[in-house]
Structure 1
Amino acid sequence: MEELDVLEEKPLRRPDWLKIQLKTGPNFTELKELMRGQTLHTVCEEARCPNIYECWENRTATFMILGDICTRACGFCAVKTGLPTELDLAEPERVAESVDTMGLRHAVVTAVARDDLKDHGASVFAETVRAIRRRRPLCTVEVLPSDMGGNLEALHTLLDAEPDIFNHNIETVRRLTPKVRAKATYDRTLEVLRRSKEYKPQIPTKSSLMLGHGETREEIIQVMDDLRAVDCDIMTMGQYLQPTKKHLPVRKFWTPEEFAELKEEALKRGFKHVESGPLVRSSYHAHEQAQSAEQQIQQEQIQQAK
């Protein structure tokens, strides 16, 4: 197997289509102050998302709960790793208050992996969903948890809160999973998505794939087929960007044209919605993704009823 962690090699030159124009307008500044005032974390900041300026200017953010220290050390992720020391049970209400203050129509809630907790943080996830609903009933809520160690009871705890979208990222192709992801496995991710759909078939499922770790087109197509085999509804694909020199290097920059072609391949396989592009991330245009998937599901239900 090709080694992925050779950091001494010369990094690839970042192509022009990945250059980001930084815009820190009033909405960005206001949102940053709000997050600090509520002592909240966002994956936008912790994972150094390239879309933070665009999304925050549009008053969209992905909240990261359960603290800012992850118990896993994935080779692609910039979030701090270590052993968390506490659990903030007041966090769900602060997230809900911020969602209400921002006037969000669609809130995305993710979290660090908390393998130190018996339920992997599922109960706090669920309470965050419920708190948002109490404060802002018309806001749709998307959750993006870890695999929770494959704990089926924890998965049910989270799904019982009835999130509008259940998102769990597969991240990379089967061959590269051991190098790219810490503790998670390819088959466990598929099992989490399958179990979610089995337990709550009315909740759309979603998964994301990073390109640039050395995967082939054929392996990407296989991921699409594997996700559809567990009835995954939404797929996103984006370019991996190395956050620091300590993280895995980029093996290839996929072109916008290649991302467009892969989107067509995914749509052919029956996904309800596909976002695919160099700067696409799991939560990019999340509200539009949710609306598109819902409309597609409704159309299919109408066709089946005829």
Structure 2
Amino acid sequence: MTLTEMRKPDWLKIKIASGEDFKDVKELKQMMRSKTLHTVCEEAKCPNIHECWANRTATFMILGDTCTRACRFCAVNTGLPTELDLQEPERVAEAAEQMGLNHCVITSVARDDLRDGGAQIFAETIQAVKAKLPLCSVEVLIPDFMGNFQSLKTVLDAKPQVLNHNVETVERLSDRVRSKAKYRRTMELLRNSKAYKPKIPTKSSIMIGVGETWDEILQTMDDLRAVDCNILTIGQYLQPTRHHLRIEKYYTPEEFALLKEEGMKRGFSHVESGPLVRSSYHAHEQKEAADQTIAQAEEAEAGVR
């Protein structure tokens, strides 16, 4: 069945901002443009943009708006970036301060053209936000840096409160869905992050509806828990344009609820699972749950000693 033959179910209706909420969204867009900043909310056509922006939250996308990869699910522009903006970290921090954020999420396009994959700019952005907003927690959603541990170390040394790297899909479909990224490389990055900085919660995301089986979703959960990933988000894949990967299945809210149960049974500190869930949806609550779980684990370990 093709995308045009599949009717979008009622539970995928998106709430559009109106009234004062619409005004807030408009103001945020104007601020982002005035600072020549990008958000993944806009670039990736996130279905939650109106809800999140109306609540004065956003996910900053650094290192430009052009990705060196061409994943078949992603709406972000692809090509060869032409520059590196060294002043971007400070402008992100200014925007975060202006928004009065308590939890700031920073992601990026993939920059395989850079020796460190953009890790230094990530680190500087984390540091700049913390300098402006000392009480604001910072979450980073990073690319795989082509498996370069030094780049991962550079980001972790800047002490983000959450390290996020998305597996996106099940192992069987990874090469078809993602560009250059490797399923096992993702697992290794998450393993290395926890080994190097065990107190920093790790997080990953799966989008479903691209042809995976139920058992493969559960296996992906098991693989993530095997590398001590703390937080999991699961959402419905939505085809951005007719040129992108087609939707194979719409999962019901009941199925997403079952997947949340399966994740929690496996020991994730938090599972956000729903049709419109994306990686940074309710990110602050996810971070608090992970902090609690890690603190409890440390207390239990100290008690054993």
TM-score (normalised: structure 1): 0.96
For the pair 1:304 / 2:298, whether they are aligned, the reply is no
Equivalent in the alignment of 1:290: 287
Q: How many Å separate the matches in 2 of 1:9 and 1:81?
A: 23
Q: How many Å separate the matches in 2 of 1:133 and 1:22?
A: 32
Equivalent residues of 2:3, 2:247 under 8 A apart: no
For the pair 1:12 / 2:6, whether they are aligned, the reply is yes
Q: For residues 11-51 of structure 1, what are the alpha-carbon distances to aligned partners after superposition, in whole Å with 9 as ceiling and x for unaligned?
A: 42110000112114222122111111111000000000000
Q: CA RMSD in A?
A: 1.1
TM-score (normalised: structure 2): 0.96
Equivalences for residues 33-48 of structure 1 within 5 A: 33-48=30-45
For the pair 1:150 / 2:171, whether they are aligned, the reply is no
Q: How many Å separate the matches in 1 of 2:271 and 2:3?
A: 34
State, as a whole percentage, how many aligned pairs show the same letter.
65
> Shift in Å at residue 176 of structure 1?
0.5
For the pair 1:181 / 2:175, whether they are aligned, the reply is no
How many residue pairs get matched?
300
Equivalent residues of 1:170, 1:209 under 8 A apart: yes
For the pair 1:230 / 2:224, whether they are aligned, the reply is no
> Shift in Å at residue 10 of structure 1?
3.9
For the pair 1:123 / 2:120, whether they are aligned, the reply is yes
Q: How many Å separate the matches in 2 of 1:10 and 1:104?
A: 40
Q: For residues 100-127 of structure 1, what are the alpha-carbon distances to aligned partners after superposition, in whole Å with 9 as ceiling and x for unaligned?
A: 1100000000000000000000000000
Equivalent residues of 1:267, 1:274 under 8 A apart: yes
> Shift in Å at residue 305 of structure 1?
2.6
The aligned amino acid for 2:16 is L
Equivalent residues of 2:233, 2:273 under 8 A apart: yes
Match of residue 15, structure 2, among 17, 21, 29: 21
The aligned amino acid for 1:195 is N
Q: 1:23 to 1:119 in 2, by over 3 A?
A: same
Q: How many Å separate the matches in 1 of 2:149 and 2:7?
A: 43
Q: How many Å separate the matches in 1 of 2:150 and 2:211?
A: 35
Q: For residues 154-180 of structure 1, what are the alpha-carbon distances to aligned partners after superposition, in whole Å with 9 as ceiling and x for unaligned?
A: 111111101000000000000100110
Q: How many Å separate the matches in 1 of 2:23 and 2:104?
A: 20
